[in-house]
């Protein structure tokens, strides 16, 4: 089981044992969970972490369609916590974030084409 906090720290280049930024990262991670909840990803009641005990499967089931959540979380937290200096890099990250939001909303949309195919049989 992969800890949400630990995996985000790793993607940001922070070693697991270094806990100086944990409170800040937890706050930013929870903010991104609120955004994900608003686009329909995750538990309907919302989700938050308190430390390194929460794992990805606590938030999303073992569903390959939602693996993008991890990359999305990394990009959003990176922009808040440690934004790049170059405006071109920020713009590229923002475009990726927008695409990820669209793809995630399509993945969780109950009116997706898979359901329509089943209804047409």
CA angle 77, 79, 85 (to 5 degrees): 145
* Residue with the larger pLDDT of the pair 102 and 61: 102
DSSP string for 6-70? HHHHHHTT--TT--TTHHHHHHHHHHHHHHHHHTT-S-TT----SSSS-BHHHHS-S-GGGTHHH
Question: How many whole angstroms from its chain centre is CA 103?
Answer: 12
This prediction's pTM: 0.87
105, HSE (Cβ side, Cα atoms, 13 Å): 9
Predicted confidence (pLDDT) at residue 115 exceeds the cutoff of 60: no
């Amino acid at each position: 089981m992969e800890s949400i906090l630990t995996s985000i720290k790793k993607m940001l280049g922070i070693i697991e044992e270094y806990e100086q930024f944990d409170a800040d990262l937890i706050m930013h991670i929870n903010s991104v969970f609120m955004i994900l909840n608003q686009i329909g990803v995750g538990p309907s009641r919302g989700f938050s972490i308190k430390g390194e005990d929460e794992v990805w499967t606590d938030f999303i089931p073992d569903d390959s369609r939602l693996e993008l959540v991890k990359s999305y979380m990394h990009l959003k937290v990176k922009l808040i916590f440690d934004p790049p200096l170059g405006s071109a890099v920020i713009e590229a990250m923002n475009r990726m974030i927008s695409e990820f939001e669209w793809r995630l909303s399509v993945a969780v949309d109950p009116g997706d084409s898979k359901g329509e195919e089943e209804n047409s049989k």
